[in-house]
Structure 1
Amino acid sequence: MTAPFTPKTLRGAIVSFKLPDPMPSVIVFQYNPASLSRTLEARTSGGGEGAGEEAFRIAGAPNETIKLEIEFDDTAGMGGSDTAQPGGVAAQLAALEMLIAPSSALVIANTILTQIGTIEIIPPQAPFTVLVFGRNRVVPVRIAEFGVSEDEFGPDLTPIRAKVSLGLKVLTYSDLQFTHPGHHLSLAHQVSKEVLAKIANVGSLDAVLGSGQRII
């Protein structure tokens, strides 16, 4: 029995939009990852070390990458229960893969255009993709790396257990145009971080250098 005051655990998800259609496609994490790693690289104004005030200039939001591993498990459905998913976990895997692949209809259309002599074929845009990992982490991302380990199979060799390793490039207001919804989503995420940063910066130098000491 669940304790009456146990907080409900939110589920992480990858949400995608085919703009301008506002209806999302949602891939919910069956199990939230046990860990999530982030790498941030400062976006400076120049390629060198800089001199004077130039050494402290920031050209925009930092370049950030996120790596996480999510798991899907449909072994409970092997007995024909109501929780069984058609195709095991292959449906979730396919939905993730389609975020980085052009549609077959577009491939066919572009092939026809090439055959009739169209000079330039514009590469298609990937869906607008958002990582939702709690209320304080809703960020636009692009899938940069995708690794799958299929760990168990049904009698028809359909995968029923899988681990997916995702490498995500966080898209910021520095990457997206002002008119793109991801621009405003990224800016709102930064504002929430600024609020958290103010909470962390309530201390003083007394605990570091001693009472009454100053750096500048």
Structure 2
Amino acid sequence: MALLMRGALVEYSGAFLGPIPNIVIFQFNPEKLSRTINIPPPPAITPTSRKQKTETGKASAPPTESISVTAQFSAADDLGRGDALSVVPRLFGIAPQLAALEKMVYPPKTPGGLIGAAIDAVGAALGGGAQAATRSVPREKVPTLLFIWGPTRVLPVTLKTMSITEQQFDFLLNPVQAEVSLGLEVASAPPSKDVVANGALTYTNLIKDTQATLNLAKAAVLAVDIIPF
């Protein structure tokens, strides 16, 4: 049986991946992935900008990349297994996957996202409410995500748009089938302190540079077919 790699979105906190990050693995890999390279227009030429271009060699902002995918989720496979994995879909359908996705667009309120919230709640209950189990720690306004699409693309992204179409329901009106359209924006210049994002971007760009070099080798071989002698 051939190995099937699945795409995923991974939310992480701080400079490193936590022990249990918020992860949504695509149950079925999207059939299409649309990528848009947004090229910013060149700035207006002024005496000041002409001087800056001469001094720095830079005239405009770098291009940015946006990605659009449509993911399908269904409880049918897990319900048919009949093992421990079928317990959650029997109770909630695919609502847990959808809830995890939705959490990725809201500002996290506690360290560790979903897991941190649960730990804080339990700790506060055990402490009788007199003393907080943990202190609140300021976090970024939006979650930091990694979009993983095979071994050659690991990109830091932010979720810009999300459209959820719930298509079928169980007797408790839990969704058991849904289609989720995601709009992602690649973080082309993540903060320097974000070690995970910068490492992922460097890794993916290195692979892209290698692939472009391989294409040059192929083009050199095929050049004889397009250059007349």
Calculate the TM-score normalised by the size of structure 2.
0.70
Kept after mapping to 2: 8 A contact 1:66/1:169: yes
Task: Tell which has more relative contact order, 1 or 2 (C-alpha 8 A, sep 6+).
Answer: 2
* Residue of structure 2 aligned with 1:25, choices 16, 22, 25: 22
Q: Tell me, which stretches of 5 or more residues in structure 1 are unaligned?
A: 107-121, 212-216
How many Å separate the matches in 2 of 1:166 and 1:77? 23
- 2:201 is matched with 186
Kept after mapping to 2: 8 A contact 1:19/1:127: no
Aligned positions, number: 186
How many Å separate the matches in 2 of 1:78 and 1:125? 37
Question: Residues 65-214 of structure 1: matches in 2 within 5 Å?
Answer: 65-76=66-77, 81-82=82-83, 83-84=85-86, 85=88, 86-103=91-108, 124-172=140-188, 175-181=189-195, 182-202=197-217, 203-204=219-220, 205-211=223-229
Amino acid at match of 2:102: E
Question: Residues 18-57 of structure 1: matches in 2 within 5 Å?
Answer: 18-20=13-15, 22-23=17-18, 24-43=21-40, 46-48=42-44
Greater fraction helix: 2
How many Å separate the matches in 2 of 1:63 and 1:123? 25
Cα drift, residue 78 of structure 1:
5.4
Cα drift, residue 206 of structure 1:
4.0
RMSD of the alignment, in Å? 3.0
- 1:16 is matched with 11
In structure 2, the CA distance between the partners of 1:152 and 1:34, relative to structure 1 (3 Å rule), is same
- 1:214 is matched with none
Cα drift, residue 8 of structure 1:
0.3
Kept after mapping to 2: 8 A contact 1:178/1:184: no
In structure 2, the CA distance between the partners of 1:210 and 1:36, relative to structure 1 (3 Å rule), is same
How many Å separate the matches in 2 of 1:11 and 1:79? 20
For 1:45-86, what per-residue CA distance to the aligned partner results, in whole angstroms no more than 9, with x for missing partners? x42489x9x7x9575652000000111100345579334234
- 1:64 is matched with 65
Cα drift, residue 96 of structure 1:
0.5
Amino acid at match of 1:87: F
Cα drift, residue 210 of structure 1:
2.0
How many Å separate the matches in 2 of 1:79 and 1:155? 17
